[in-house]
Every structure is written in structure tokens, then in C-alpha cells.
Structure 1
């Protein structure tokens, strides 16, 4: 991966070297280089509370630095990074953090409720060797539902690859693990599956469990990799798993399309500049006026879309999502009724898991559809422009539409890197908020809805504590789920979901509008610059055009060699 990163950086430096002498702005190339250098690949290790995640990571580190006696109530996601100094950084919801020595794990545990997650910096050769991979020790799937929801939903977006761990004592994939893999799969993320504590069973028993789980994974997820058995000291096995992660493929998935878009924009800028050099000053000014009109039309389109969020996009999505949640609960009603009659904590966990998986799947699907609709609608507005002579035509508009759809999809899947490019600039704060809203689909929409259900759980459980005769408990629980639980959940979702979806859709409208407007403003700048600097000497103009043609060919050749090979 490091070789690919350096190849991309060198490519962008070469493009900048071609564009700079021709007085083109190379700020986007510089921003991309910064992002390439800063990008990390987050690898959460997930599983049940007693699956042995911390023990496995400690074995990989060669030390017992991660505490293994943390209770489910105080567990925090812990990101491990190489550092010259070793210490904990406890990060709050606000982004502020507190620093702790490695010996202060008890103090962190006592204040766990104040923090969102931990960063652990270690002067450790194994962590240095796997960079830019960042391991994350996650709270167990069986942690209190609110804590687990916050952690797993956050890292569904942030995580680039997952290591799933279950104990050999489970014997097969539990419902909670199965649902979390469904959520990981919904975000298009890869995973490796491991069985821990294999030393507790005979090798023949472990082999049977491996075969059973491999069959389950093939049936559910078309998973073709093997299931890895881990014993007590499995740091080397974890190292092998990390080495086999296709980090090059992950890196390409984050940057390749953006680099291709950058190449397209650079060549398009050259084409527009050439057209402006060949045109009269009057034609160039008319083009600028047409671009200004196009920008005003986009602003009007954005306002119309914002005004129509509820009627055009939100209402139908809310109804569809709620219907899907109710259907998923109904499909699991027998299992839920059995738990309600005998294990109310288990019932709460199972109900939360069903609702969470349903919300992740449905809301992600709805937002993806709405994003595509928005891009198509804005694209239609752009097609009214009459600027074919300046290479602003249907092909150009289609390319912008395609890359905008890809950007939205990548943002929803957590595959957009924007850390460097949004640190400064006039609208940096606004853009940062908009894009983080889209990237935080699960934390911005799904988690708040689940929190409402969690608060409501005691009322739901009270439906099952009315002293039914033992032989009637399951039947009565089933009736209560149909007549009270499902209608109550639907009501809660219906009251809270519209506002959350509206914020998400508003963010997408802002992104789509800004993407198109940015392109028109860039074209306006390119043509205006030619008008200001255009020479009256035809020989000089012809020399400029030749230089531009050579530059475009050089960039096209570079892109073919690096991005399209």
C-alpha cells in the first residue's frame, strides 16, 4: 500500500508540475497529497464481551497493556496507534480529550461515561509495522445496548475492514454476531472471521465448529475465506490476518475515483481555456454570463429541493422504513415471544438488534436512492446551459453527475477522506458539518432512533410482567408484541424519524448543489482569466494553445499509466 500511496503522490506532483507553468491553480492537487499522506485504515476487532478481543490484541502487541478486566458497562472502543511516547487519550463527545498514563486504567474506567472512545499510543514495533492500519478494540456485542449501539454504529462508517471474533464455546454464529455482520456487509466492508479460545476444545471439535461456521457464512454472505481458529497466544495469527488485508484495494477504493475526477477536471480546464483562447472576447463574456445564470438556477433549484424535503423525499421514506422494521419484528416474533416469557434482558437485546439491523439497511438504502434522485434533478438543470463551444456539454455534465453520485455513496459508506481539505477556507466549517452528517448516517439517524427505543424499553417490558400463568406466557407475550409492542415502536419512530431524515437529506442537497456550483464557478474563473490575459498576438495565442494541447496529452498519458492501467 505504501508503494501505491507514493505512486499517487508522485502522480499528483507530476500533474502539478505540468499545470503550474501554465498558471493553473494546483490547490486541489496539494489537498489530495495532504489527504493521501494522512489517511488511516481503521480495523475494528468486534465480537462478544468475553470473546477474547483484548487478549488477542495484547498477544499481538507482546504486552498486557490493554486491560482485560473492564466490565461491559465501562468498555470503550480503543484505537491503537504507534507513537514515540506511550499513553491513553480519552476523547469526549465534544472532541476534547484527557491524557492518561498507561497505569491509569482504573481512573479511565471510573470516568468511562464521560468519554466517547480512547486512543492508545504505544511505542510498539508491531503497531509501527502495520501502519496505516489502526486496530480498534471494540466493546462486546453483549455490552449494554446503548453503549454498544454508539460504538458499533460509529465504527460501521469509520471502519475500513473488520475482524470478527467469537468464542469456541458459542459453537456457531450467534444472532447478535450475525446481525452485526449484516450491518458490516450493508456498508460494503470486508471482514475476517475467527474463533477464539480454541485451546478449550479438542481439535476435532474445533474443526467441526469451523466447518459449520464456514457453511453459515457462505450461505448468508457468500464468504469464501476460511474461519481462523485462535488459541491463547495468537498474536502471530492476528499479524498474518492484518498482512493479508487488501490494504492496497482499500486505499484505491478511497482515492482512485477522486484522482480520476481530478484528472478529468484538469483536462477539462485545459479544454475550456483553449476554447476561450480561440473565441472572441464577446463570445467569452457571453459564456461567463451563461455560467452566472446557471449558478443562479442551481441556487433556486437547491431552495426548491429544501422546501420539498418533507413532501417529495421524507414522508415516503419514513413510511417505508417503519413498515420494514415492523415486518422484521414480525418475522422474529416467535423467538422474541420466547425471550419475553423467560429472559427479559435477552428480549431487550434481541429486539434492539432486530430494529438496529433493519434501520441500518433501510435508511441507508433510502438515502442512497434519494441522493441519486437529487443528482439527476440538478443535472437536468445544468443541461439547459448552452456552452458546447466551451466544452461544457452533456458529456461533461454526465461526468460531474456520475462522480457526485459516487461521492455520496462513498460518504455514506465512510470511504471519503476530507481531513486535510476541510481544515481551512471560507466555508470550511459548513462543508465539514455537511459531509460529516452524510458520513455519520448511522450516528446521525440510526443511533438517535435506537436511543428512543432504549428509553422506551422499560415500558415495552412492562407488557410482559402482568403475572400470566406459566403455560400461557409465550402465547400472551406473542399477543402483546403484536397488539402493543409493534404499534408503540412504530409510533415512536414516526414521531422522531422525519426530523432526523430531513437533516440528512438537507445535507445531501447542500453537497449536490455545491458540487455542481463549484464546477460552474471553476469554468467561470477559467474563462475570465483568459479574457484578462489574452494576447492580441495570434502567434502567441497559437503557442499557448499548443502548450495546452501538450499539457493535456501529458496528463492523459500519466492518468492512463497510473489510474487506468
Structure 2
């Protein structure tokens, strides 16, 4: 079945070929989008905390125990499940090379082997009729989001943007969403992709309790902006569970997933094409002298862009950077203090529980706070760039603002990959900051936990107050300082990455506008007699682009993925 995007996209490519000389980036973007649509891989990651039952669920669905399950963090690599006549397991390394594994690992020790640090993800081919009937949908067995292991965190972020849909797996026994799972769901909440909820271990609850748990978890997901389209109840050794999961997966139409995944990108490029043609038509009515003056203005804008960006970089290294470090580290400390009672209770249950809960709080607050601080800095830079912009006859401020939209989108989601892997590097950098803050928690516990344990023989109230005092006066300030030091080390790279992205966007837009003006000047001088015909052609092309945009918008509205 032909997808809904190929038609309008093919027409847009045909139109953009007429402007390859003045706006080659637009044609390249459309061509790349068509290639991606034709080679679309509809990955459906299963996300949940460790021991939620993701691998067991897939084993039940496949009808064979092929994915390892264990009493320790087991799924080290994201494992894509593909249909094939012969069973095979292939590991893709970080450099793009692959290696075939002759047997599937069976336990946590095998899959978390430190001898394979360059492994990135795995593809498991299985001759399963259930996989074959999905017609291109690829389930992905994911590591637990709460293990604290960097390889597991990297695995999630690899698929955060690639996921065409997500299956959230929650143990019904837990009764609610784990903090670590809620934190990662923030990363996909802004993406208009379908989300399925699977409640595992349902056989351990009464029907009434199960109804309450489903209502609680569905409500929490809705509050996060991740309203589940389908809820599946799963029980171990229940064959109907496999059928229910298969029915849910079959409701994910791969053609609709393409629209959800690519429509926004195509509309953005189509908007740029529309602006470019409009600029050509408008400019063609001007005399050559006026065009020369406008071209001069754009030349000046390009020349002064370097100086202005240099000034903004100096501002970033001064007050803005200091404010960012103060805000983020302060927010981390405040979040820990706010959750003091919760952390105390976790500490009483054991070091591992305290570590996991502390890591979840820090990770969530750190990413959110850094996101907000960078967005404020970016907005401040755009305002300053607009105030310093030259040119009385051109709207450089509008060009700067439009060119900032891609970067702003990245800051809002920290999960959007744009123009290859450029933004993935930014995301990985931000994750490295979080990881560098979370890892020292173990060291802090080694330092302070023995002193706290000594207090256990004291009366309960005194013990509680002394433990909380130790947390507030020793542990939390140390974490705050480590958070600040880690951010001070990596923040310059993050800021420069944002500036580089903005610079590329702004230069491209300015150059496209300048090229349009030069084209009009030459056309007007050499082909004055063809002016009216050219005007009609541009008007027709503008209408075609608008029709394509409307067609894609209508397709988006018909899906209505999120309520």
C-alpha cells in the first residue's frame, strides 16, 4: 500500500528542482526525507524498569524462551526482533561494524560482559509467525531504565527518537509508575507517537485491585502527556496474553506511523520552499537597482554574523554560564531537600534502594533544569542578535528567529535528531553530565553510610533526625558541588554545539535569500520579456506547495494520536 506522504513529497521534490541553483539545501532535505520514508524502520521499544517483565513478556509472545531473564539487570543491549527463516543474533558495534554471535546469552553475566564495551545494539532474527505478521514492525527488548548502568542509559536514548511507537511495561504489583520510568517518559512525551501500556504479573492481584492499578497508572501516564491508546493485561504462562499483545501490535499501522514520524519534517522543509518562492516572486517586481541594494544588505548581514556570534560566545562564557551552573546545581540540591523524607525511608530499606531513588531524582531534575537554562540562554542570544542585526530593507530579525526553531525544538525534547547525528552528539553530551553526577553517589554512600548505621541503636526519633541531618549537611551539599563541577566541565561544549547549529541555520537562510535576490536581478536584466510568465509560474508553484502542506496536515489530523 502506498503511504500518504510519498505523493505530496514527490511533487515537492519536483518543484524544488526548479530552485536547485538558489536553494540546494531544500531539495537535499526533501530527497533525504523520501529516502528515509522508503527505508523506514518502525521500531517499537518496550520500556520499563528492571524486572518489570519485558523479556519474559516477549518470550511468552514468541512462544519460546529465547531472550534471557535473570535476577540481575539482564538486557544490556537493545535487541531488535526481526523475522527470518533462520535464527541468528548479530551485534552492531559503535563503529558500525557487525559480529555474529553463535548463541544467545542466557543470563545477566553473559549479556553484561565487560569484554564487549563497543557493542551498541543487537538484531535477533527468529522464524516466528507473530513477527512475520507484523509486516515491518520491529519490537525492541530494552534494558531497564533504572539500572544506573551507562550502557543501559545509552541504549534508551538510541531509541528515544527512533521509536515509531512505545510499549510501556509496568508490573501490576508495583501499583504505580517508578520514578525512573516517569523520568524517561518525559523524553518521549513531546513526540506524537502511539503508546501502549502492558501491565505484567496481573495474576498476582485480585480483579478489583487490578482495576485500581490500571486506573492509577493510566492516570499517571496521562499526566505526563503519554496517554496510552491500548492497555494489555499480561500474566505469566497465559497464552491469551500473547494473543492480546499481538492484537495490540497489529493495530499499529506502519503507514500511519510514517505520517506521525515524518510529517513535521516535510512541512518544515515545505515552509522554507514556500518562503523561497515567495521571495523570488516578490523580488522580481523590483528594479535592478533596488535588488542590488538588498543584496548588499544580505552581504553585510553575512559579514557581521561572525562578529555578532563571537560576541555571543563571550557572553556565554561569562554571566550566562555562571547563572546556568548556579541554577542547575541549586535545583538539584533543592530537589533532594524536598524529597528528604522519601530518601530517608529509602535509606532505611537499603543502600541500593536509596541509590536508585536518589539517582532518579537527580537525573530528572538535572535534565529539566539544564534544558530550561539553555533555552533561556538561547532566547537571550536570539534577542541580542536581533537587536544588533543590520539592514533596513530586510527583516534579519525574522531570519534569525526562524533559524532558531530547530535548536529550540531540540532543547524542548532533547531527543530530536536533525540533519544526521549532530543533535545526537548534543544529547549524548547532556547524558554524560547526568551520568558523571549519578556515579559518585556510590562513593558518597561508602563515606557516610557507616556513620549513619551506627545511629541505629538510638531511639527511633533521634535516629531519624540525625540521619536526615547527615543527609542535609553532608550528602546533599557534596552532590550539589559535584553537579556544579561536572556541568562546568561539559557546559562549554554544549553551548558551542548550540551556537554552531544556530550559525548553520542562519547562514543557510541568509544565503538562500541572497541567492534568490541575485537570481531575480539576473532574470530581470536578461529576460525582461518573460517576467509575467515567470510570475505566473511562481504563483502556481506556491499554490502547489500550499496544497501539499494542506494534504499532509489533513492526514495528521485524521490520525489524532494524542487526545
TM-score by length of 1: 0.82
1:405 corresponds in structure 2 to 405
Structure 1 residues 40-189: aligned runs within 5 Å = 40-69=41-70, 71-72=72-73, 75-82=76-83, 86-103=87-104, 108=111, 110-111=113-114, 114-122=117-125, 124-127=128-131, 129-130=133-134, 133-141=137-145, 143-144=147-148, 146=150, 148-152=152-156, 155-156=159-160, 158-159=162-163, 161-181=165-185, 185=189
Deviation at residue 279 of structure 1 after TM alignment: 3.7
Question: Kindly tell me: are residues 111 and 496 of structure 1, through their superposed partners in 2, closer, same or farther at Cα, counting changes over 3 Å?
Answer: closer
* Equivalent residue for 2:485, pick from 495, 510, 513: 495
Contact 1:35/1:417 (CA < 8 Å) preserved in 2? no
1:359 corresponds in structure 2 to 366
* Equivalent residue for 2:318, pick from 311, 316, 339: 311
Counterpart secondary structure, 2:480: helix
Q: What do residues 246-276 of structure 1 show as CA deviations (whole Å, max 9, x unaligned)?
A: 8777655543343233223223322333345
Matched, 1:539 2:529: yes
2:436 corresponds in structure 1 to 448
Counterpart secondary structure, 2:67: coil
Cα distance in 2 for residues equivalent to 1:226 and 1:553 = 40
Question: Kindly tell me: are residues 278 and 405 of structure 1, through their superposed partners in 2, closer, same or farther at Cα, counting changes over 3 Å?
Answer: closer
* Equivalent residue for 1:477, pick from 449, 467, 479: 467
Counterpart secondary structure, 1:545: helix
1:8 corresponds in structure 2 to 5
Question: Kindly tell me: are residues 539 and 161 of structure 1, through their superposed partners in 2, closer, same or farther at Cα, counting changes over 3 Å?
Answer: same
Deviation at residue 181 of structure 1 after TM alignment: 4.3
Cα distance in 1 for residues equivalent to 2:83 and 2:386 = 45
Deviation at residue 326 of structure 1 after TM alignment: 1.3
2:560 corresponds in structure 1 to none
Contact 2:433/2:490 (CA < 8 Å) preserved in 1? yes
* Equivalent residue for 1:322, pick from 329, 346, 350: 329
1:18 corresponds in structure 2 to 15
Cα distance in 1 for residues equivalent to 2:375 and 2:256 = 23
Cα distance in 2 for residues equivalent to 1:558 and 1:213 = 40
Question: Kindly tell me: are residues 286 and 84 of structure 1, through their superposed partners in 2, closer, same or farther at Cα, counting changes over 3 Å?
Answer: farther
Matched, 1:437 2:425: yes
Counterpart secondary structure, 1:90: strand
* Equivalent residue for 1:269, pick from 258, 268, 276: 276
Deviation at residue 346 of structure 1 after TM alignment: 1.7
**How many correspondences in the alignment?**
543
Contact 1:302/1:510 (CA < 8 Å) preserved in 2? no
Q: What do residues 383-436 of structure 1 show as CA deviations (whole Å, max 9, x unaligned)?
A: x32345xxxx47xx5476246325531465266454xx54xxxxxxxxx44x22
TM-score by length of 2: 0.83
Counterpart secondary structure, 1:499: helix
Cα distance in 1 for residues equivalent to 2:414 and 2:145 = 21
Contact 1:412/1:441 (CA < 8 Å) preserved in 2? no
Please, which runs of 5 or more residues in structure 1 have no aligned partner?
423-431
* Equivalent residue for 1:207, pick from 198, 204, 211: 211
Question: Kindly tell me: are residues 551 and 493 of structure 1, through their superposed partners in 2, closer, same or farther at Cα, counting changes over 3 Å?
Answer: same
Question: Kindly tell me: are residues 252 and 409 of structure 1, through their superposed partners in 2, closer, same or farther at Cα, counting changes over 3 Å?
Answer: farther
Let me know the Cα RMSD of the aligned residues: 3.6
Contact 1:160/1:189 (CA < 8 Å) preserved in 2? yes
Deviation at residue 480 of structure 1 after TM alignment: 0.6
Contact 1:76/1:139 (CA < 8 Å) preserved in 2? yes
Matched, 1:561 2:551: yes
Deviation at residue 508 of structure 1 after TM alignment: 1.2
Counterpart secondary structure, 1:114: coil
Cα distance in 1 for residues equivalent to 2:339 and 2:470 = 14
Q: What do residues 531-554 of structure 1 show as CA deviations (whole Å, max 9, x unaligned)?
A: 455554532333333322332233
